[in-house]
Amino acid sequence: MELGLPTLLDTMHRLLFLGALALVTGFVAFPAARAVEASTVRKLDLEGLVEHAELVLEARVLGAEPGLDEHGRIVTRYTLAVARTLRGAHEAVRTMSVPGGVLPNGRGLVIPGLPVLAAGEEALLFLTSESRAGVRLPVGLSQGRLRVARAANGAKRFVREHGAVEFVDAAGHTVPAPTAVETFDYAATIARVEAACAARAERERAGGRR
């Protein structure tokens, strides 16, 4: 299914909030398929994202507010309306802080590579645990966010702005990507993530019993 262009209103709405946000980047470990044996390099397919995430949820971004944390560092506090939680405790509304942002006075902090969530954006988020600084990061930075895009008929698909994505068919099988931009079948992706979350939870329970 082809994605439509974001509407102008959507875009402008996004801009109002995004203008206050800063992005953050780092050097992202991204393994070649042949390098899966390297424990320091993670193959961040959907299962890999689940494996390393502390919190997996589908949410809509209600607000994004830059500010200073207790250490005086700029963070952006997101308020999320959580539609479903695939891993972690479900809360209908969550807040989380992500490093970076731009304060009203124009002062900002950017970490090249770290994605910024747009107010109003719907996304499937694979999030790290909360660090001692009280922040969470998307797992694998930009890889840990799959944006929800809606076609003209309202059907959902997942989109990631870069290409570390496998295209899946309705059965969850990988298929060749039809274009350079990645889209994911919504239902198949959710099913695959849920399966991965369940498998991980089962492993953790089994480990606990031992």
Residues 51-90 close enough to bind another protein by CB under 8 A: 51-54, 71-74
CB of residue 209 to another protein, shortest distance in Å: 23
Please say which residue, 100 or 168, places its beta carbon nearer to another protein: 100
- CA–CA gap between residue 31 and residue 42 (Å, rounded): 6
Q: Nearest Cα to 161, choosing from 184, 130, 191?
A: 184
Q: How far is the CB of 17 from another protein (least distance, A)?
A: 10
| Torsion-angle region of 143 (φ positive above 0: left; ψ -120 to 50: alpha; else: beta) | alpha
Letters for 2-31 (x = contact with another protein by CB under 8 A, - = none) are xxxxx----xx-xx--xxxxxxxxxxxxxx
**Residues 97-156 contacting another protein, CB under 8 A:** 99-100, 102, 105-116, 128-137, 139-144, 149
Q: For residue 57, which of 93, 84, 96, 17 has the smallest C-alpha distance?
A: 84
Please state whether 100 falls in left (phi above 0), alpha (psi between -120 and 50) or beta. Answer: left
Nearer to another protein, 17 or 80 (CB): 17
Q: Which is nearer to another protein, 92 or 178 (CB)?
A: 178
Q: Is the dihedral of CA 156, 82, 102, 28 positive or negative?
A: negative
> Residue 6 forms beta bridges with which residues?
none
Task: Select the residue interacting with another protein from 13, 82, 150, 159 (CB under 8 A).
Answer: 159
Q: Contact region for another protein (CB under 8 A) — 78-86, 87-95, 180-188, 192-200?
A: 180-188
